[in-house]
Amino acid sequence: MSHEATPARTERRPLRFSVSGNVDDGKSTLVGRLLLDTRQVAEDQLEHVEEASRRRGFARTELALLTDGLRAEREQGITIDVAYRYFRTAKRRFIVADTPGHVQYTRNMITGASTADVALLIVDARHGVTEQTRRHALASRLVGVKNIVFGVNKMDLVGYSESRFREVEADLHAFSAKLPSTAITIVPVAALTGDNVVERSTAMPWYAGPSLLELLEEAPVATSAEAPFRFPVQWVVRPGSDDHHDYRAFAGQIAQGTVRVGDVLVAWPSGKQSRVVGIDRHPEALESAQAPLSVAIRLEDDVDVSRGDVLTHEAHPPRVGRKLVATVSWFDARPVRAGARFWLKNHTKTVKARLEAIDGTLDLATLALTPGAEELRLNDLAVVRLATSAPLVFDAYEDGATTGSFILIDEATHETVAAGLIRTESGEDA
């Protein structure tokens, strides 16, 4: 299978941001305001929302109805599932994940934040920093979001008070100082009236910063193209047809980094090396490719590689082992103790795993590890030790989000019961 080699195509990725906060803090209203004031709402859709708002007795158009699509959400007035919306301005394209605020749906919130470049956390100006604020900030940071924007909402209900905003701002800075390597921005907004959401507010002349949309338009998009190369193998391509009798390639998505024809790669966990002789992306061949392209890589030698193996450059090897120390978020209503067994899925590799020990749970107020936990309960964030039935090829999460994260799956029900971020291999400093 030979094609004329061309450079890899690059496209500017839209900014992905998640919106989280307590129930009734105004998350969905704020997303609705963004959509409305950037002219993303069709006239008939707006008429439907206006009619629904009148029918339910609201004095104003309930903008949250633009995103709360599930019937149960509309009836309860809360967001249950993650509602994804797409919009664009003259400067940028956006993908927004409106996530649940209720503690019962923390796992949904983590799902929405897991692919975000920016986490937008909404705080009610009247109530300030709450346990859910801390939980959502910590969970966002744990899934790799390094840019957190706090929208101090409902400023209209505190008379656009600068002193109240400064109180909340100080509390947010004090808490956020405990989040490692995190960029923090705090903006006073009123989603219901639109103050500082899209346009800068005249009601808060004491605030000289950008509006929320202006911040998002200039926010940096995380890129992994310069990170050490990681290529989890998803499929071994061997057509066996007369036209491609000797074709053999390894297909998958580049998790991070860049690969070029001529590079020497190492296949893990075997440690065998071979040179790249071709990079295919139908219908063309590439001279180089970078994350997040999906490609098929052809090697010079007949190296034994299968699904779940990882190709890397020799200078930046991954970790290989059966012991993990990880931070997990427990999703299941049923508690779990040490000794429990699961399926563990890490990138394209799925193995059996055993919960060896619970080192402790994370205190949401101090972020300190509290030892002595005998079990994990719903929404617990904890540091645990796991042992797997076969070697895993992985990284610490800070070094690679794809190879450094995993989910735990119940063996009997096949439900996802936890999400985890690898801290280190057992036996090393956590």
What's the pLDDT at 54? 62
Closest among 204, 236, 199 to 38, alpha carbons compared: 199
Q: Please provide residue 156's backbone torsions phi and psi, each rounded to the nearest 5 degrees.
A: -65, -30
Contact 265, 318 (CB under 8 A): no
Q: Which residues contact 59 (CB under 8 A, 6 or more apart)?
A: none
CATH class of 319-425: mainly beta
In CATH terms, are 225-313 and 319-425 the same topology?
yes
Q: What is the per-residue pLDDT across 320-364, written as a single tens digit (0 to 9) for each?
A: 999 999 988 888 889 999 999 999 999 999 999 999 999 999 876
Which listed CATH number (3.40.50.300, 1.10.10.10, 2.20.25.10, 3.10.110.10) goes with 15-218? 3.40.50.300
Joined together, the tokens standing for residue 134 give 């801390």
* Residue 72 to residue 74: CA distance in whole angstroms: 5
Q: Report CA Rg, the chain.
A: 24
What's the pLDDT at 64? 58
Q: What is the per-residue pLDDT across 67-83, written as a single tens digit (0 to 9) for each?
A: 554 333 333 333 334 56
What's the pLDDT at 71? 37
What's the pLDDT at 175? 87
Please state, in angstroms and as integers, the Cα–Cα distance from residue 271 to each residue in 244, 310, 404, 411, 428, following that order. 28, 10, 19, 31, 22
What's the pLDDT at 325? 95
3-state secondary structure of 215: helix
What's the pLDDT at 7? 47
Contact 285, 278 (CB under 8 A): yes
Closest among 22, 28, 26 to 131, alpha carbons compared: 22
Q: Are strands 15-21 and 93-98 parallel, antiparallel or unpaired?
A: parallel
DSSP-derived secondary structure letter, 201: P
DSSP-derived secondary structure letter, 282: T
What's the pLDDT at 425? 61
Residue ranges of the domains in the chain? 15-218, 225-313, 319-425
Joined together, the tokens standing for residue 42 give 């069709």
Q: Which residues contact 79 (CB under 8 A, 6 or more apart)?
A: 27, 28, 67, 68, 73, 98, 99, 100, 101, 105
Q: Could you give the angle at the alpha carbon of 191 between the alpha carbons of 208 and 58, nearest 5°?
A: 150
* Residue 284 to residue 382: CA distance in whole angstroms: 46
What's the pLDDT at 98? 75
3-state secondary structure of 189: coil
Q: Are strands 118-124 and 272-281 parallel, antiparallel or unpaired?
A: unpaired
* CATH T-level assignment (fold) for domain 225-313: Elongation Factor Tu (Ef-tu); domain 3 (2.40.30)
Q: What is the per-residue pLDDT across 361-376, written as a single tens digit (0 to 9) for each?
A: 987 666 788 898 999 9
pLDDT tens for the chain, residues 1 to 430: 444 454 444 445 688 888 888 777 777 788 888 887 787 665 656 565 556 656 666 656 555 555 554 333 333 333 334 567 788 888 889 988 876 544 444 555 566 566 778 989 999 999 999 888 888 887 787 777 888 999 999 999 999 999 999 999 999 999 888 887 788 999 999 988 899 999 999 999 999 999 999 999 998 876 677 789 999 999 999 876 666 667 899 999 999 999 999 999 999 999 999 999 999 998 899 999 999 899 999 999 989 999 999 999 999 999 999 999 998 888 888 999 999 999 999 999 999 999 999 999 987 666 788 898 999 998 888 999 999 999 999 999 878 888 998 999 999 999 989 988 898 764 444 3
CA 147 to chain CA centroid, nearest Å: 12
Q: What is the per-residue pLDDT across 178-227, written as a single tens digit (0 to 9) for each?
A: 887 788 999 999 988 899 999 999 999 999 999 999 999 998 876 677 78
What's the pLDDT at 133? 86
Dihedral, CA of residue 428, residue 407, residue 132 and residue 207, to nearest 10? 80
